[in-house]
Amino acid sequence: MLEGLNEIDWGRLMGAHGGCGRLPQLLRSLVSTAESPLPPQVEEEIQEMLFHQDTPYEATPFAVPFLVEIAGADVPGRAFAMGLLGAILEFERQIPNARQIVPWSASSPPYFQTESTWAPDEDRYVRLAVLGAQSVRSGLRSYLRALAAPDQATLGSAMYLLATFDPSPPITEALRMNLLRVNDPLVRASVLWAIARGDLARARNLVDWAWSSGAPPERFVAALLLVEMGAPNSEGIELLLDCAVGNAPQTQHHRMDFAAGDTIPRALAKVRLSEEQRARLLPTLVSGFELGKRWNAEPLVEIVFPEPLHEGTPLNEMQVRVVRELSRLRQGMSSDERRHFATLLERKGVTHDLL
């Protein structure tokens, strides 16, 4: 097992804190016998090297094939390996057009010979993520087999990992069949989201169950999905508002990363918010936008301008800040982006200088 591990010069491959010379020893610890339990720091050190702060590093795509092999074996580190693989795959899935930036035909990750070549590159993280994710997907059959595991750690990690895959009928059905076997509500929430991505209409019964009987993370996902289904309720909208302004700690977890970015703002942009609700939400969204969170620009415009303005209507403070920030950002926008936001503002009756 782990054949070829020593053929890679791990010391020259950079992790979060330098070379990864210790990685072979750490990976071998994951396949040690059950009579030799893992040292408590092993998983943490591997995570720090390969995916510190939810970010892939130079060594990550080289290590993924070995993690896939571990995930397919009955070894102590199996659950940890699948959890880490799921986080890597989820990172790649959140990057818009990632697979167009880095073609799937790429045969191997970039091998940087020295630390000095580890230079800033705007596509670097995308390339590392896509190349790592390509290897993660190669182990699909192993992850499906892991659903038969009797222990919750392996089952939960396998379900979480499968939930990060692109939807397909076999994966969606496997997730549906095993959802209620999982004890971890964070995993169940991620799986519920994945099932709905695969077949929103058939997920309605599970969504209703999650809203009425689920733990807080599941209720959060159910609130999002009820909006997508065109059936929001007032309590669910309040929950999403709490999440958006940071008052809902159940979303602050790597297994809830599907809720990152503009997911919540987009959901809230689809419902009619009261003036009080908008007043509670907008300071957080506008401040985040001004700090560089461009992903929430489109739903933010929809929320800050709920109705088209009549000619001559003055902008309020939040509207002024959003228009000013879009104007400031126009130099960094592509021509298509500028046209898109110009059209959006014009539909709202707002004067702009984006074009």
The pLDDT value given to residue 106: 38
Q: DSSP label at 75?
A: S
DSSP lists the bridge partners of residue 199 as none
> 56 and 50 in contact (C-beta within 8 Å)?
yes
Handedness of CA 309, 312, 313, 315 (dihedral sign): positive
Instruction: Indicate the domain borders of the chain.
Output: 1-31+38-99+122-165, 166-271, 296-354
Q: DSSP label at 319?
A: H
The pLDDT value given to residue 63: 95
Nearest to 153 by CA among 76, 82, 81, 79: 79
Contacts of 103 (CB under 8 A, 6+ apart): none
Bigger pLDDT: 332 vs 311: 311
Number of separate helices (H) and strands (E) present in the chain: 18, 2
Structural fold of domain 1-31+38-99+122-165: Leucine-rich Repeat Variant (1.25.10)
> 65 and 2 in contact (C-beta within 8 Å)?
no
The pLDDT value given to residue 120: 40
Nearest to 30 by CA among 15, 48, 44: 44
Count CB atoms within 10 A of the CB of residue 70.
26
Q: Structure tokens of 200?
A: 């929103």
Per-residue three-class SS string for 240-270: HHHHHCCCCHHHCCHHHHHHCCCHHHHHHHC
The pLDDT value given to residue 292: 67
Nearest to 236 by CA among 201, 212, 266: 212
The pLDDT value given to residue 84: 95
Nearest to 57 by CA among 92, 13, 21: 13
Bigger pLDDT: 182 vs 250: 182
Mean pLDDT of the 165-193 span? 94
pLDDT per position as a tens digit, 109-168: 443 333 333 334 546 777 777 788 889 999 999 999 999 999 999 999 999 999 999 999
- Residue 26 predicted with pLDDT over 90: yes
Residue burial 211-237, b: 16+ Cβ < 10 Å; e: rest: beebeebbbbbbbbbbbbbeebeeebb
The pLDDT value given to residue 37: 59
